[in-house]
């Protein structure tokens, strides 16, 4: 039975199945809903410090709930670091983030999303994408005590 938007048993999906196999997924994994884990974790943004570890728990939860997780990242500039001459790069990132999430989700055919972000430009960018994509989506922000 096919649960997701792509059927790994369809011969026209052989290329997809082969590439996903190269990424470590089995054909049985692809028969389950494939859930995109959209993570804004980066080493250079202190507001996202805990997201790397949190993503591991999210992936375990997706597996336990019968899905197959697939994590990918988005640009995640820090306003505080970008103050001064670099600040004019931060606001346009919202649209860049929304477009990059939408492109990745549509290209890979994810069936649902878990978005993980902090900061006031990255969260709206992801939410813009979620609204445009109209897929089941959960949104998680980092816990404050895990940031420090």
Residue pLDDT, tens place only, 87-99: 677 888 899 999 9
Report the SS3 class of residue 113.
strand
- Ranking 30-34, 43-47, 63-67, 136-140 by mean pLDDT, the lowest is 43-47
Q: What confidence category does residue 30 fall into, taking pLDDT thresholds of 50, 70 and 90?
A: very high
**Whether 80 contacts 111, CB under 8 Å:** no
What are the residues whose beta carbons fall under 8 Å from the beta carbon of 142, sequence distance 6 or more? 47, 48, 49, 50, 51, 54, 116, 118
Neighbours of 91 (CB within 10 A): 12
Distance CA 124, CA 106 (A): 19
- Residue 90's alpha-carbon distances to 45, 107, 119, in angstroms, are 13, 26, 11
- Architecture, CATH, for domain 32-147: 3-Layer(aba) Sandwich (3.40)
Token pair recorded at residue 57: 């728990």
Token pair recorded at residue 90: 């931060």
What are the residues whose beta carbons fall under 8 Å from the beta carbon of 20, sequence distance 6 or more? 29, 30
Q: What is the pLDDT of residue 144?
A: 61
Ranges for all domains in the chain classified under CATH 3.40.50.2300: 32-147
> For the segment 100-127, what is each residue's pLDDT rounded down to a tens digit?
999 999 999 999 999 999 888 899 999 9
pTM of the full predicted structure? 0.89
Q: What angle do CA 119, 36, 74 make, to 5 degrees?
A: 35
- The DSSP symbol for 103 reads H
Distance CA 97, CA 73 (A): 10
């Amino acid at each position: 039975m096919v649960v997701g938007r792509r059927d790994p048993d369809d011969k026209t999906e052989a290329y997809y199945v082969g590439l996903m196999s190269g990424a470590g997924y089995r054909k049985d994994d692809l028969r389950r809903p494939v859930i995109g884990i959209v993570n804004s974790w980066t080493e250079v943004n202190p507001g996202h410090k805990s997201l790397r570890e949190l993503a591991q728990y999210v992936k375990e939860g997706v597996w336990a709930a019968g899905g197959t997780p697939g994590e990918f990242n988005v640009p995640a500039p820090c306003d505080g670091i970008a103050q001064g001459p670099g600040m004019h790069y931060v606001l346009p990132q919202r649209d860049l983030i929304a477009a990059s999430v939408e492109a990745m989700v549509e290209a890979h055919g994810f069936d649902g999303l878990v978005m993980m972000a902090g900061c006031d430009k990255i969260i709206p960018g992801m939410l813009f994408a979620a609204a445009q994509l109209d897929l089941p989506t959960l949104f998680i922000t980092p816990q404050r005590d895990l940031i420090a």
